[in-house]
Structures are given as structure tokens and as C-alpha cells.
A = this chain, B = another copy of it.
Amino acid sequence: MPQVAEIICVGTELLLGDILNSNAQFLAQELAKLGIAHYYQSVVGDNPERIIQVVRTACDRANLLIFTGGLGPTPDDLTHATLAACFGVGLVEHPEILEDIRRKFAERGREMTPNNRKQALLPEGAQVLTNSGGSAPGIIWQPRPDVTILTFPGVPAELKYMWRDVAVPYLRQAGWVQQTVYSRLLRFWGITESALATKVQPFFDLQNPTVAPYANLGEVKLRISALAESETAAQALIAPIEQQLLEIAGTDCYGADDDSLASVVGQLLQAVGATLAVAESCTGGGLGAMLTAIAGSSSYFWGGVISYDNSVKVGLLGVNPDDLAQFGAVSHPVAQQMAAGVRDRLQTTWGLSITGIAGPAGGSDEKPVGLVYIGLAGKMGVTSVEYRFGGGRGRDWVRHLSACSALDQLRRHLLSAKFSSSSDDRYP
């Protein structure tokens, strides 16, 4: 049989629809990247007979079975015990796992429960697939020469680092990875998917590398994927296409792969030794949270003020109460005074502000839900931009787009300062 994988997700919560099966998507993407074929995915509840049936079916059509879920401490976590039964072996207690679980509990000042003991029982002959973060380890096991089994917990974060840190190196070493799909994801902000697609249409007909568009939460992406025998060979296919796409897209492309608007802004600030403070109204801290999601952000992000109530805008940011009364909290003057105020109070190079109507209530004909002003203060003065995100997609959508657009405004400003390109000045 050629080398074929199958993804098997165990958990009654999946059958009840309590959770979205994001683990299957993650594993599917990872298998595609490694060039490992997989033709089926199965979901089955926490039921030994049915898990066994799924394993038998999978063994007839695949030789790498990848399980998620059912490794926890509760009685319905049955994956390892069922796999042992399925291949006719017993369970063996691994003292080092028990010790590891005990240590992790102790680190958090908690006592291990008798339930956790179960997590140290693995099928006889299985290797431990270490879980450095959570309590449940997985296994790497070849119960028969033609079957390899990998198990992971259902917790997505644990699955992800166990996959990357342990499973991928194992699969490479065991000869599962022949040709690699290497991808480069270009990231765009401030342009719609259809506008970008129109600009780069001819690239969608390429065969190797391929170029495909995606859009999600206001962000547009282009994935360039090349199939090659080595990462270097794939990169040589991708690089010229990437270069052409970047020339077409200009500053609408803010980064690639793991970049985020916050990380790119951070790099631009750091490069010139600049610092940033934020003043947030409708986002309530979401912009600061995005900025500080980046490790090391303390070197350029000093903090800010969440001025949700107007009294905070006046008291902590020095917004003029008369302007608040005349123009309203959601207005150009207030956005500008918030940005200038926080820059002044925190003594940073830049002050960035957001004030808007996130909804669902609070909108009017003149100022509808989704109306947002972004203010930016620097040594050149203060400016602001109006956005209309609409109210149809809800409060979270408006807040997310507001924070991203604020970062994008600062990014474009930092870029245009960097290249001294006054012609691309988007500020009024």
C-alpha cells in the first residue's frame, strides 16, 4: 500500500456539535504541507466498539492513523485503552509520565487527582509522544508493521506543538516525507479580496507554484504553494512570483506568513527607536491586547488609556468637554484629542486612538453602527481617518476591524515616513 494517512477525531462533543473540529483542519493542512496523502477523515464518539470499528476501516485503507481526543483524565477518555484492546495488547504504566504530571500539578500549586493516574497508562510497546504543556501525553506506536499510530490530545494548542515538536521530526526520520509543499502566505490589509483578485488574476492559472486567494476577518491573503524535493528548491520557485505580486500590491501587502499587523508595526517602530501609546474607546483594550500579543512589545509599546466612559476621555486624556458635547465622542476632533492626549501623558513618539460605535445599540442615521474614527498623533501634528464598517456583521467585527485599521494607519504612516514618499500620504 502506498503511504496514506487518515485523521480520526474522537469525542462525543464533536457528535453533539459542541466544538468545531479545528484539529482536523490543522492536521489536514500539515499533512498537505508534508506531501502526505490523506483521503478520509472520521469522527467517532467516546465509545470503544465504535472506535474499534473506525480503526479497522482505517487500517484497510491507510497506514498512518492520526488520532485526536480522548486522552484526558475522565472516564470517557478511552483512546489509548481502546487502541490497546484493538491490537490485543495490555496497558503499561509509565512512571516518568506520572512524575511529569505530578510535577506540572505541583508547579501550579495543585494536587494530582487519582483520575490523572490513568493518563500514564499507554498500550504496551508504544512510545511516549511528549506533551510538554498539558498533562496528557500521546503515543507513537507501530502495533503492526503496516500500521503507525499517532495520538494527540483534543486541546488544539497541545496538539499543535506536539505535532510540530515531536510528530513532524518523527515522520521525517521514518521516511514519510518525500516531496514537500512549501507555502508562502502574503498578507494584505486595506484592499478587498475581489479588488486584489482583479489585480493579480493571471497568477491564479499558474501550476507550480500555485497562487490562491483567501479572505478572513477583513484580511486578504494570497497563498503561493510550490511542490519540490527540498525547501530550497520550492523557495526558488516561489521567490520570483512573490516579487511580482509585491510589485503589483505595493503597501497593501503588510507582511507574510506569521506576520501580524501588530508585529509589523512593532518592527517598524523598533527600527527607528520610536514608542507608542494608545487611547481606546469602542475597542476597550483590544488594540493594546493585539500590540502586547507580540513578545518583546515592551520595548516600543508603553501602554495607554481605555477611555470607555467620556469622563475618562476628559479626565485622563484631556479631551475638551465642549468638543465632546458639540461633535460627540465619535468624531474627528475627539479622535485627534485622544491620540494627542495619550501621546502627551505617556510621552511617546506616537499616540494612536480609536473611537467608534460598535453596536448593536448607539447608532443613529447620522452616526450609524460601524462608524469609527482613528486618530494618530506624532511630532508632525495630529490627524484622523473615518471608517464605516457597517453594523451587519456585529459588534466583534466592528471592534476587530477598528483595531486592525488603527494598526494599518500607523503602519502606512511609518512606511511613508521611511520612504519619505509624501505622495502616498493618506491623511487629510
Q: Could you tell me the distance between the alpha carbons of A14 and B293 in the complex, rounded to whole angstroms?
A: 27
| Copies of this chain, tallied across the complex | 2
Q: Could you tell me the distance between the alpha carbons of A134 and B360 in the complex, rounded to whole angstroms?
A: 17
Residue A193 interfacial (CB < 8 Å): yes
Contact of A303 among B7, B306, B395 (CB under 8 A): B306
Contact of A74 among B213, B282, B293, B306 (CB under 8 A): B213
Contact bitstring A392-422, B, C-beta under 8 A = 1, else 0 = 1111110100000000000000000000000
Q: Could you tell me the distance between the alpha carbons of A197 and B40 in the complex, rounded to whole angstroms?
A: 34
The distance from the CB of A403 to the nearest CB of chain B, in whole angstroms, is: 9
Stretch at the interface among A47-55, A86-94, A121-129, A226-234: A47-55
Residues of B within 8 A of A359 (CB): 295
Residues of B within 8 A of A378 (CB): none
Residue A171 interfacial (CB < 8 Å): no
Residue of chain B at shortest CB distance from A21: B21
Residues of B within 8 A of A318 (CB): none
From A195, A309, A393, A396, residue with most partner B Cβ within 10 Å = A309
Cβ of A107 and Cβ of B388 under 8 Å apart?
Answer: yes
Cβ of A21 and Cβ of B25 under 8 Å apart?
Answer: yes
Residue A73 interfacial (CB < 8 Å): yes
Residue of chain B at shortest CB distance from A313: B303
Q: How large is the interface on A (under 10, 10 to 19, 20 to 34, 35 or more residues)?
A: 35 or more
Residues of B within 8 A of A304 (CB): 285, 305-306
Contact bitstring A43-82, B, C-beta under 8 A = 1, else 0 = 1110100100110010001000000000011111000000
Cβ of B17 and Cβ of A25 under 8 Å apart?
Answer: yes
Q: Could you tell me the distance between the alpha carbons of A389 and B110 in the complex, rounded to whole angstroms?
A: 11
The distance from the CB of A23 to the nearest CB of chain B, in whole angstroms, is: 10
Cβ of B16 and Cβ of A41 under 8 Å apart?
Answer: no
Cβ of B298 and Cβ of A302 under 8 Å apart?
Answer: no
Cβ of A17 and Cβ of B27 under 8 Å apart?
Answer: yes
Residues of B within 8 A of A225 (CB): 16
Residues of B within 8 A of A195 (CB): 110, 113
Residue A178 interfacial (CB < 8 Å): no
Q: Could you tell me the distance between the alpha carbons of A287 and B53 in the complex, rounded to whole angstroms?
A: 46
Residues of B within 8 A of A197 (CB): 73-74, 113, 115
Residue of chain B at shortest CB distance from A116: B194
Residue of chain B at shortest CB distance from A183: B16
Residue A291 interfacial (CB < 8 Å): yes
Cβ of A133 and Cβ of B289 under 8 Å apart?
Answer: no
Interface of chain A residues 15 through 34 with chain B (CB within 8 A): 15-22, 24-32
Cβ of A157 and Cβ of B292 under 8 Å apart?
Answer: no
Residue A208 interfacial (CB < 8 Å): no
Q: Could you tell me the distance between the alpha carbons of A26 and B17 in the complex, rounded to whole angstroms?
A: 7
The distance from the CB of A228 to the nearest CB of chain B, in whole angstroms, is: 16
Cβ of B14 and Cβ of A28 under 8 Å apart?
Answer: yes
Contact of A15 among B26, B28, B57 (CB under 8 A): B28
Cβ of B41 and Cβ of A43 under 8 Å apart?
Answer: yes
Cβ of B305 and Cβ of A309 under 8 Å apart?
Answer: no
Residues of B within 8 A of A142 (CB): none
Contact of A198 among B25, B114, B198 (CB under 8 A): B114
The distance from the CB of A213 to the nearest CB of chain B, in whole angstroms, is: 6
Cβ of A104 and Cβ of B194 under 8 Å apart?
Answer: no
Residue A204 interfacial (CB < 8 Å): yes
Residue of chain B at shortest CB distance from A393: B133
The distance from the CB of A110 to the nearest CB of chain B, in whole angstroms, is: 7
Q: A17-B25, A306-B306 are in contact. List 13 more A-B contacts (CB 8 A).
A: A12-B212, A15-B38, A15-B39, A18-B223, A21-B24, A40-B42, A116-B194, A134-B393, A285-B306, A286-B288, A292-B306, A311-B347, A312-B346
A sample of 10 cross-chain residue pairs with beta-carbon separation below 8 angstroms, ordered by A number, consists of A17-B26, A17-B28, A18-B223, A40-B42, A73-B193, A73-B197, A285-B287, A286-B288, A309-B346, A316-B345
